[in-house]
Amino acid sequence: MKNRAGNQLTTLNRSLERNQPLSRRDFSLAPFRQSSNARALWQLTVTLVPIALLWASIPALAAEPTLRWLIAPVLLALVLFSARSFSLMHDCGHNTLWSSSLGNRVTGFALGCLNAIPQFPWSRGHAFHHKHNGNWEVYRGPSSLLTVEHFLRLSPAAQWRYRLTRHPLMLFPGGFFYLVIRPRLQLLLGMVEFAGAAMQFAIASPRSGFQAWKRFVLTFKSSHWYTTGEWLDLLANNIVVLSSWYLMAAWLGLGLFLTCYSVVMACSAAMFICVFFVQHNFRGSYTSGTRGWSYFKGAIDGSSNLVLPEVLNWFTADIAFHSVHHLCERIPNYRLRDCHCLHSELLKGCTYLGLRDIPRCFDLILWDSNAEELVSIDEALTAAAR
């Protein structure tokens, strides 16, 4: 490892001597791509077992008036472990947690059910983010930010609504909607579309046989999913999630379950959406148009690395080391830190954010396509007034 680090420093020095910019070839990423089934099993064990034990403790605490206050720290722990389970689901989406694709697919689906979100459609959307990170003509970040020009054309009321929906406190209701409501709504609206299309098909081709109907079902396109595989994952996820809600409500009681579950899902979603947001929306982030866009700059300059307490690094599965994750998404979470440390000299020019820097990132909710930078609403209005 030391020899490899020395070779990297030598490569960097040679690049600087030749006045050549840093490139992906200067990084040794392949040695970190190997997945470990033993580490994957251990990570799942120390994540899922505590989640089960924490949920199991809630009815006992609720039944004893003098212990009910302990439900609050239990819910806090569940929020953190739920965020960690989402991070492991994220690894499965990149096919990196396990060494086998089947293991990642099965585990990803199970963790998606635990987080109430269909993992397969989510992972395809996340892969699109990796493919286009930094190209803001194609991908506008985790909150679908507007350009300055678009924002200035809005009415004052619409500008106020936009500002409100991008406020940090909206992470909680927004996170709850993202996990709990949106996947159910997608399936419902998609099935309504399917029923309408099927009725039109039946009217247009009343004598269609089994093969024609089979072809219609397999080729049906909805605005709420892109492929048959995504629809099947969405359907299966909803069946499992709705069944688990029924069983949990029967076990804990409807009121207690809804209260605890809503808190856990809203707060854990807010946590990982916040992390994802600040790792791409920060002052000086690389925000290019399609022309001249660079995948490498998107990874290095369009991704921040978070300086977090070790306990938060554990609960977020080291996603804080985000530049190397974007340089190579096939590196498992349990090797990101080692890869980052090996290339620490090469990554000195990256952006590093601490917890105190996070609130300021939420001011940057507009893309100035002319200057190719993120700006605040106040900055955009001040510039327009000039």
Going by pLDDT thresholds of 50, 70 and 90, the confidence category of residue 10 is low
More confident residue, 208 or 24: 24
Residue 303 has pLDDT above 60, yes or no: yes
Q: What angle do CA 26, 27, 32 make, to 5 degrees?
A: 160
Q: How high does pLDDT run on average in the chain?
A: 92
Q: What is the pLDDT of residue 2?
A: 47
Whether 79 and 261 have beta carbons less than 8 Å apart is answered as: no
How big is the chain by its Cα radius of gyration, in Å?
23
> How much is the average pLDDT of 63-86?
97
List pLDDT tens digits, range 196-213.
989 998 888 888 888 888
- How many whole angstroms separate alpha carbon 288 and alpha carbon 367? 10
Inform me whether the pLDDT recorded for 12 exceeds 70. no
Task: Report which of residues 298 and 218 the model is more confident about.
Answer: 298
* pLDDT of 87 over the 80 cut: yes
Amino acid at 103: G
